[in-house]
Structure 1
Amino acid sequence: MDLKNKTIIITGGARGIGAALAIRFAKEGAKVVVADLDEGAARATAAAIDGLGVACDVTKEADVQALVKQTEQHFGPVDMFCSNAGVCLGEPSHSASASNDTWGLCWDVHVMAHVYAARAVLPGMIERGSGYLLQMSSAAGLLSQIGDAAYSATKHAALGFAESVAITHGGDGIKVSVICPQYVATPMLGYADKGASSDLPGVITPEALAETVVEGVAQESFLILPHADVAQFIQFKSANYDKWLGAMRKLRSKIVDEIGSTDLETMHKLV
């Protein structure tokens, strides 16, 4: 897809990856709507790129519908909906130890928000014979995130939903891409929001991720892998599931031995 003059909505767009995507898409000539729970931050990010900042709680379908309606009134039909909003809360102890509220929030943000977005824009896209759903999953959606079963399970579900949309509506002219990064230097990992960077192997900046996304969208690739080695990990996993699980158990044991927990902010520095 050529992004020039395209109308794009990005949820979770005020900071981090979302803001980097908004800025990069605007550089390509897109008309960008920045949606976020933090309306002030959304407007600030949007103002810097001549976009539109909108308050939106992606866990509420009415908010997503209103977001699309406001976008259509301001810029016209939505060409791309980028479901970027995400949460990562971890687990207190065993894999089922996170609260029902945590599991529910992960499900609502990582899965139902994508469903709400599709419901809001697919009818118009199908009628026009074109459209793009760009969905943030994670390498955890292909592999697994140690120390956060709710995150991993819902990211897997997000990938499954994206596959269903691509299978069902590819013939209608609808394109789907799923972004599956590993570690990105964002506030989720404890990095400063502005100009975040890291010298740690495997940790990339939001700006580097955005470059990969633009390339993937240009090629209309279903899987966008900002970390190239994820493709190798997928092959390892699919070739011998038991061996892969054993390797992941060893990695988890190493992490716990070295830092005493699977806290995300500290753990990424060891892997």
Structure 2
Amino acid sequence: MDLAGRVVVVTGGAGGIGAALARRFATEGAHAVVIADLDGDAAARITAEIGPTALGRDVDVTDPAQVRALVADVEQRYGRIDLFCANAGITTGVGLDASDADWDRAWRVNLLAHVHAARAVLPGMLDRGGGYLLQTCSAAGLLTAVGDAPYTVTKHGAVAFAEWLAVTYGDRGIRVSALCPQGVDTRMLHDGLAAAHPGALITAASGPVLSPEQVAQAVVDGLADERFLILPHPEVAGYVRRKAADPDGWLAGMRRAAGRLPGVPRQPAG
């Protein structure tokens, strides 16, 4: 995809990866960049920073009615949506002690929000004969997030849903990419490190922590090539191959890595 002249929507667009994507898409010459975020004030700040090509919207991506209204508004204003980036996401930092509320929130933000977006935006894209969906899924969706069961499960679901979309609609002009970074210098990672969440500690220790701008560059490159998997950390591809070739060995290695960190449940001795 050539981003010049495109109409783009970015959810979770007021900070971190989302804000970097919005800025970069504008730099690439997008006709309009719509920044949707639960924090409307933050979305307005990014909009003002980018300038007249940007539009900020206060949207709860877990509410299908709000997502439908967002899509209808953008299509009415600009005539189409060329690229929809389902980027909003949350972590929990908990495992079996996660509450039902933790699980419910993770499901609704990390997975069902992608479903709501696809339901809202695909009819128009299919009518026009083409469109692009970018799903932010995380390397945890291909591997795991030690210590965070809801994040791991919902991000795996997000990858699976992206695959399903690509299989189902790829021959009808719909391109799909799954963005799967490891550590990124965002508030999400810093909050996890401050709370000593095992997944955040392993993420920070297992490879380079990229800036959101570096992730945005990887996205621009991946969209240009229309690659399904966009891996800002290329080493993730090797981890996935190792996991597929030797699941038991990979699990043993992950247990060893987890066992070196505080806060990870261990089997009792004896």
Taking structure 1 as the reference length, what is the TM-score of the superposition?
A: 0.89
Given candidates 204, 211, 215, the residue that maps to 2:210 is 204
Amino acid at match of 1:6: R
CA offsets, 1:193-225, max 9 Å, x none? Answer: xxxxx9995100000000000000000000000
Q: Mark the CA change 1:208 to 1:199 in structure 2 (over 3 Å): closer, same or farther.
A: farther
1:19-168 superposed matches below 5 A: 19-30=19-30, 31-49=32-50, 50-91=53-94, 95-168=95-168
Amino acid at match of 2:21: L
CA offsets, 1:134-178, max 9 Å, x none? Answer: 000010000000010100000000000111110010010000000
Counterpart in the other structure of 2:8: 8
CA offsets, 1:171-195, max 9 Å, x none? Answer: 100000000000100011227xxxx
Structure 2: distance between partners of 1:18 and 1:112: 18
Secondary structure of the 1:177 match is strand
CA offsets, 1:77-110, max 9 Å, x none? Answer: 111110000001111xxx3210011101110111
- Unaligned stretches of 5+ in structure 2? 192-203, 265-270
Secondary structure of the 2:170 match is helix
Structure 2: distance between partners of 1:240 and 1:150: 25
Stretch moving more, 42-51 or 234-243: 42-51
How big is the alpha-carbon RMSD for the aligned residues of Structure 1 and Structure 2?
1.5
**How far 1:76 moved relative to its partner?**
2.2
Q: Is residue 2:214 matched to residue 1:215?
A: no
CA contact (8 A) 2:90 2:109 kept: yes
**How far 1:46 moved relative to its partner?**
1.4
- Displaced runs of 4 or more, over 4 A: 198-201
Structure 2: distance between partners of 1:201 and 1:244: 17
CA contact (8 A) 2:59 2:66 kept: yes
Counterpart in the other structure of 2:196: none
Amino acid at match of 2:6: K
Amino acid at match of 1:177: S
1:244-259 superposed matches below 5 A: 244-255=250-261
Q: Percent identity?
A: 52
CA offsets, 1:5-60, max 9 Å, x none? Answer: 11010000001110000000111111100000111110111122230000000000
Secondary structure of the 2:238 match is helix
Counterpart in the other structure of 2:201: none
Counterpart in the other structure of 1:266: none
Q: Mark the CA change 1:239 to 1:169 in structure 2 (over 3 Å): closer, same or farther.
A: same
Stretch moving more, 72-81 or 4-13: 72-81
Structure 2: distance between partners of 1:70 and 1:46: 17
Amino acid at match of 2:79: G
**How far 1:73 moved relative to its partner?**
2.3
Stretch moving more, 67-76 or 32-41: 67-76
Q: Mark the CA change 1:199 to 1:253 in structure 2 (over 3 Å): closer, same or farther.
A: closer
Secondary structure of the 2:260 match is helix
